[in-house]
Amino acid sequence: MTPSDVLKLAKAKDVKIVDLRFIDMPGLWQHFSIPVAELSEDLFKEGIGFDGSSIRGFQAINESDMLLFPDAGTAVIDPFTSVPTMALICDVKDPITGAAYARDPRYVAKKAEAYLKSTGIADTVYIGPELEFFILDSARFDQGYNFGFYHLDAEAGTWNSGREGTPERPNLGYRPRYKQGYFPVSPADHHQDLRSEMVLNLEACGVKIEVHHHEVASAGQTEIDMRFDTLVKMADKVLWYKYCTKNTAKKFGKTVTFMPKPIFQDNGSGMHTHQSLWKDGKNLFYQKGGYADISPMCKHYIGGILKHAPALCALIAPSTNSYRRLVPGYEAPINLAYSARNRSAAVRIPMYSSSEKAKRLEFRTPDPTCNPYLSFAACLMAGLDGVQNKIDPGEPLDKDLYELPAEEAARVKQLPGSLDAVLDNLEKDHEFLLKGDVFTRDLIETWIDYKRKNEVDAIRLRPHPWEFALYFDI
């Protein structure tokens, strides 16, 4: 779609407002809106200004002026606004130099795709993320000097099984038990119609959906799977995914969280990320007759993912809450191994289909608190490092890695157990990200500094509610 096409679409759809969207460094969509009369072909060439110092991870106040350039190919009519509104995803540039902004995560993703082509290894990377989330009826949380709490509730939560019913809110008793939500039909599944509405809204925004269902955990844990796409387009779609699911839930009087571990002692929410490399229309990860029909290139790509996983986690599982999920016993992919069909390994080779087109790897460690542009780009760079250096991932482990004897389990490397630890790993291991100037040292240093100051220290310095149960009476 060209700028001229965007103007024609705006006229055809009687658009009144144009919403300009871009991503901050932690991964949250930001926006501002202009009347449609301000939309012109010149806007796509000249950009529109905004204050970069007010955006997390961007500019200092003394260099705050920045420009947004709408990407004409991203035009979508927003299905949630009462006033007819067109949304455009934007790229960020420096108004002085005219150069693309190195801390713009979308630019990082674009550079990753360009770098892939420059290597000659492949011309396309396909990404297929599986985002999981919880649908809740209430989410209360607050912090102060002398208190801190959260309280979540969901009519579908099994903890409500003993709740006293009322005429306004009867207790009908159908709820998935802890770890048994995969996947009963209605009435135990409370959210069939809500998920279907989410799917329709996503497809109205150009996001192709393959399947939706209840996930393993109680309290409305959900998965809606998108059809795979190229890296930048897929990251754009992840943001539409979050936008559509949250706003559809709001219309139903509910709320959505993508926190990896909001519910104690139940399964967490991941973002299993399927990946494959292609060249001239051929899937380079397929080779008939090898282990799980994967090629040597695929094995080396896996080798890169597993080698760099402790550093990758700082970008693909980048919250303190991520490490409440990445613990044994909850289908958590903490074991640095690969296997066909085996969901206890960090990298799984799906075996649903013998088709060449379907051959891919599934990296199970990422979660939806990541910035998708940075996460997908980092995964690609780690995999390419594996291909370029022929990194051997070792032998596959076709066993339940959670039930290995202690002696055997000790030989399987595991992921670090905290955000602080993976940031340390990223600090030591990031040269693979710098190839092709895809990531810059400045971006990596800014990311590490932001995470340590605003998240690691913020949690480390605060008393935890459970500490009062442990220590108050000592």
The one catalytic residue in 78, 132, 367, 420 is: 132
8-state DSSP, 200: H
The C-alpha angle 93, 25, 276, rounded to 5 degrees, equals: 95
467 is catalytic: no
Name the residue with higher pLDDT: 7 or 60. 7
State the average pLDDT over residues 369-397: 97
* Burial grade of 221 (CB within 10 A; 0-12, 13-18, 19 or more): buried
The band of 181, judged by pLDDT with boundaries at 50, 70 and 90, is confident
Average pLDDT of the chain is: 94
Give the span between the Cα atoms of 158 and 141, in whole angstroms. 21
pTM for the structure as a whole: 0.95
Angstrom CA distances, 138 to 156, 172, 192, 273, stand at 12, 19, 19, 29
> Would you say residue 410 has pLDDT above 90?
no
Compute the CA torsion angle 336, 459, 104, 23 (nearest 10 deg): 100
Angstrom CA distances, 120 to 123, 126, 278, 417, stand at 7, 16, 11, 37
State the average pLDDT over residues 48-63: 87
> Would you say residue 331 has pLDDT above 80?
no
State the average pLDDT over residues 245-268: 96
331 is catalytic: no
What is the structure's pLDDT at 409? 73
CATH superfamily of 124-134+146-152+221-233+265-471: Glutamine synthetase/guanido kinase, catalytic domain (3.30.590.10)
The one catalytic residue in 71, 104, 155, 215 is: 215
The one catalytic residue in 71, 130, 225, 420 is: 130
Give the span between the Cα atoms of 297 and 275, in whole angstroms. 13
Angstrom CA distances, 470 to 151, 418, 473, 474, stand at 20, 21, 8, 8
Six-digit token pair at 156? 């579908």
What is the structure's pLDDT at 283? 98
132 is catalytic: yes
356 is catalytic: no
State the average pLDDT over residues 329-349: 85
What is the structure's pLDDT at 401? 67
Give the span between the Cα atoms of 417 and 424, in whole angstroms. 12
Q: Is 444 helix (H, G, I), strand (E, B) or coil?
A: helix
> Would you say residue 400 has pLDDT above 80?
no
Using one digit for the tens of pLDDT, what is the confidence trace for 449-458?
A: 999 999 999 9
164 is catalytic: no
The band of 187, judged by pLDDT with boundaries at 50, 70 and 90, is very high
Cis peptide before 183 (omega within 30 of 0): yes
> Would you say residue 102 has pLDDT above 70?
yes
343 is catalytic: yes
What is the structure's pLDDT at 206? 97
State the average pLDDT over residues 128-154: 96
Q: Which helix (H) or strand (E) holds 361?
A: strand 361-363
Six-digit token pair at 320? 């303190």
State the average pLDDT over residues 399-413: 75
Share of the chain above pLDDT 70, in %: 99
Domain positions in the chain: 3-101, 124-134+146-152+221-233+265-471
The one catalytic residue in 78, 91, 104, 223 is: 223
408 is catalytic: no
Q: Which residues are CB-neighbours of 150 under 8 A, at least 6 positions away?
A: 139, 140, 141
The band of 117, judged by pLDDT with boundaries at 50, 70 and 90, is very high
What is the structure's pLDDT at 183? 85
403 is catalytic: no
360 is catalytic: no
Give strand pairing partners of 277. Answer: 125
Q: Which residues are CB-neighbours of 255 under 8 A, at least 6 positions away?
A: 135, 136, 137, 138, 139, 246, 249
List the one residue out of 98, 50, 106, 61 whose CA is nearest residue 443.
106
> Would you say residue 269 has pLDDT above 90?
yes
Domains 3-101 and 124-134+146-152+221-233+265-471 share a fold: no
Name the residue with higher pLDDT: 327 or 386. 386
The one catalytic residue in 364, 420, 430, 455 is: 364
Lowest mean pLDDT among 176-180, 217-221, 287-291, 430-434: 176-180
Give the span between the Cα atoms of 350 and 374, in whole angstroms. 24
Residue with tokens 């379907």: 358
> Would you say residue 360 has pLDDT above 90?
yes
Give the span between the Cα atoms of 368 and 237, in whole angstroms. 13
The one catalytic residue in 5, 38, 46, 51 is: 51
What is the structure's pLDDT at 205? 97
Using one digit for the tens of pLDDT, what is the confidence trace for 362-374?
A: 999 999 999 999 9
* CATH class of the region 3-101: alpha beta
The one catalytic residue in 71, 113, 137, 362 is: 362
Lowest mean pLDDT among 112-126, 278-292, 340-354, 379-393: 340-354
Q: Which residues are CB-neighbours of 23 under 8 A, at least 6 positions away?
A: 29, 30, 104, 105, 106, 239, 371, 373
